Structure 1
Amino acid sequence: MTLRYGVVGCGRVFQRYHLPVVTDHEDYTLVAACDTDADSARSVLGAAADGVLVTTSLEEFLTVGRPDVVAVCTPNDAHTEPVLAALAAGAHVLCEKPLAADLTQARRLAGAAGADRLAVNLPYRFHELVPAFLKALPEGPCEITLTFTTAGQRLWRPVTNWYGDAARAGGGALVDLGAHALDLLVTVFGRPRPVACRVDARGVEERVIADLEFPAGPAKLRIDRRSRVMGLTLEATAANGETTVLDLRRGEVRSAAGTVTAEDRRPELAAIRGFLDTVAGRPGTARWPRLRRWRCRNSSRRCTPTPSAIRS
């Protein structure tokens, strides 16, 4: 049976990430699109717009389009209404990260009826190199560093100017890239205790330095959304100085045992593929990696958040 697919929010994220996956998936047919600008939505859909209901009405999208699966790709502050409406209509929903622009909205979505049909697009936990990185890690405690840099607003401002609006975005680099970075860290090392977080501005920050404590050891998270270099690296350094590196930009795991190279050159699509495959009941769908069990070397240490500011 072919499943009916619809999207709310036909912006650049949908165009670059969701559209290529759904149009190539044999189990799905794109049937409906909802956007505040119908003409822009048709332009984004391109050849895929043929036979698709394009509307500015969420009600029409759900009642006439009748999607089985809905992708919500609206700005951060506009996730709640379409997610709740799609869940109430019985659809499976993949929401773009972060789940919402504030905790109140996020908790409302997480506690909604049908929330077991709701997922968030966080692809890096599904990266094919995560198991290789886990396997290459030395035993015992380590020091962890995750560095995430992008071109940020210089790249996205023309099509996502709301990124600079704290109310609409929910903040800046921490909620934007931090969602990916923290999810990857939690996938590999388990849940941390926060120690400190420093940002370069209030409202919409571009640079973040966060200190965390994992059972495996201390971690430093560095995010720079104004960098000229695109990169995402996770490093774990053992007491003997041996370092294991997960370099997602290059698609490599580097360790004392050698280098492992990824085959998938578009890992950012992994969660979308996995979600669609799971709903369709296809075998071999993406699975969350098995977490390594760590014992904290500083189990008595208490860690509390201490926000401060990074000097420019």
Structure 2
Amino acid sequence: MTRQLRYGVIGCGRVFQTYHLLCLRNRPEFTVAAACDVDQARARSLFDGTGFDPYVTADLADFFRVGHLDAVSVCTPNDAHVEPVLAALDAGVAVLCEKPLAATPAGTGRLVDAAAGARLAAVNLPYRHHSLLPAFLGALLPGACDLTLTFTTAGQRLWRPATAWYADAARAGGGALLDLGPHAIDLLTTLFGPAQATGCRIERPGGVPGGVEESAEASLRVDRGPVRVLINRASRSLRLDLEARQGDRVVTLDLKRGEVHTGDGVVATARGTRPELAAIELFLDRVAGGDGAVAGFAEAAESQATIHELYALADRSPSLTR
């Protein structure tokens, strides 16, 4: 009988519960062998009824002493990514880190350097893998287009009780732009190549400089033309769509509905899927011996560099107001 692959998790909060654990429960070739979290009682209760019985500890060194691990997910708050990832890389363990890679550019740089030559080091950036991307590109006419990417969630209201650190600038490293921006920038660069930051405005609580923003409006340029990115994690609607306007023709990639449509109707669909899980599933495939593509640390760092350029531009621009 082939042995089960031993998986570990560092940080057993909402992100692990909602995404990583869901994928692992559907993969019989894996078992969760170890979990590291500051709240050990909560972490233990998380695995009730899952069929997993991991060793639970609050100590990172103890976590890596549990025995051989094949892979780990790092799902800690943003400012606590660096040390767990470095420990996993030092142990020769495949690692999947949540975005952003780190809360600061310096931390991101440390991880990129450490991951050079690693067996498998990936970041959870799922939308680059969406099956509708070729259909969207195929529906565009040759030449330039004006692009608008809209990403809105209700996370500020729904997730805050479980992730209070999102509002802590020191722990999160930023607000909505650093939270949702990696997905937006990664999607754009997957489709259109490098993106140049040209402008940004962010909404700060009460208009106070230095606060954690809940919305942002960014301007970029890609090879096909200008891009406007609208991000809001205090919205009452859930949207992730990219609109390309070429004269009177509009082509929309709607990842929430799972469709590509033009003024003439829907041209492609991918309904009934969970695109937000794609990067985790592909990482598990790789750990299990497959050859699926994953977003590496260097690629994630490029997107984060663009985001930090946008923050610098925002510091020189008026803030958004509600």
Normalised TM-score (structure 1): 0.90
Contact 1:174/1:208 (<8 A) preserved:
yes
Shift of 1:115: 5.8
Secondary structure of 1:10's counterpart equals coil
Contact 2:32/2:52 (<8 A) preserved:
no
- Structure 1 residues 115 and 257: alpha-carbon distance in aligned structure 2, compared to 1, 3 A threshold: farther
Aligned to 1:295: none
- Structure 1 residues 304 and 192: alpha-carbon distance in aligned structure 2, compared to 1, 3 A threshold: farther
One-letter code aligned to 1:174: L
Contact 1:72/1:93 (<8 A) preserved:
yes
Are residue 18 (structure 1) and residue 34 (structure 2) matched? Answer: no
Aligned to 1:251: 258
Structure 1: 4+ residue segments shifted above 6 A: none
Shift of 1:287: 6.8
Aligned to 1:293: none
Are residue 241 (structure 1) and residue 244 (structure 2) matched? Answer: no
* Unaligned 5+ runs, structure 2: 205-209, 296-309
- Structure 1 residues 120 and 72: alpha-carbon distance in aligned structure 2, compared to 1, 3 A threshold: same
Shift of 1:54: 1.0
Are residue 232 (structure 1) and residue 234 (structure 2) matched? Answer: no
Are residue 127 (structure 1) and residue 134 (structure 2) matched? Answer: no
Contact 1:109/1:115 (<8 A) preserved:
no
Shift of 1:258: 3.9
For 1:1-312, what aligned pairs fall within 5 Å after superposition? 1=2, 2-48=4-50, 50-113=52-115, 116=118, 117-201=120-204, 202-238=210-246, 240-255=247-262, 258-259=265-266, 260-282=268-290, 285-286=292-293, 306-307=313-314, 308=317, 309-312=319-322
- Separation in structure 2 between the aligned mates of residue 15 and residue 103 of structure 1, nearest angstrom: 27
- Separation in structure 2 between the aligned mates of residue 223 and residue 11 of structure 1, nearest angstrom: 24
Shift of 1:279: 2.2
Contact 1:53/1:65 (<8 A) preserved:
no
Cα RMSD (Å) of the superposition?
A: 1.9
Shift of 1:114: 5.2
Could you give the per-residue CA deviations for residues 97-127 of structure 1, whole angstroms, max 9, x where no partner exists? 1001110101000111556421110101011
* Unaligned 5+ runs, structure 1: 289-302
Contact 1:90/1:114 (<8 A) preserved:
no
**How many correspondences in the alignment?**
296
One-letter code aligned to 2:50: A
- Separation in structure 1 between the aligned mates of residue 277 and residue 48 of structure 2, nearest angstrom: 20
| Percent identity for Structure 1 against Structure 2 | 54
Secondary structure of 2:76's counterpart equals coil
- Separation in structure 2 between the aligned mates of residue 27 and residue 108 of structure 1, nearest angstrom: 32
- Separation in structure 2 between the aligned mates of residue 228 and residue 262 of structure 1, nearest angstrom: 24
- Separation in structure 2 between the aligned mates of residue 71 and residue 304 of structure 1, nearest angstrom: 28
Contact 1:88/1:114 (<8 A) preserved:
no
Normalised TM-score (structure 2): 0.87
Could you give the per-residue CA deviations for residues 29-66 of structure 1, whole angstroms, max 9, x where no partner exists? 21111101110001222223643111111112112142
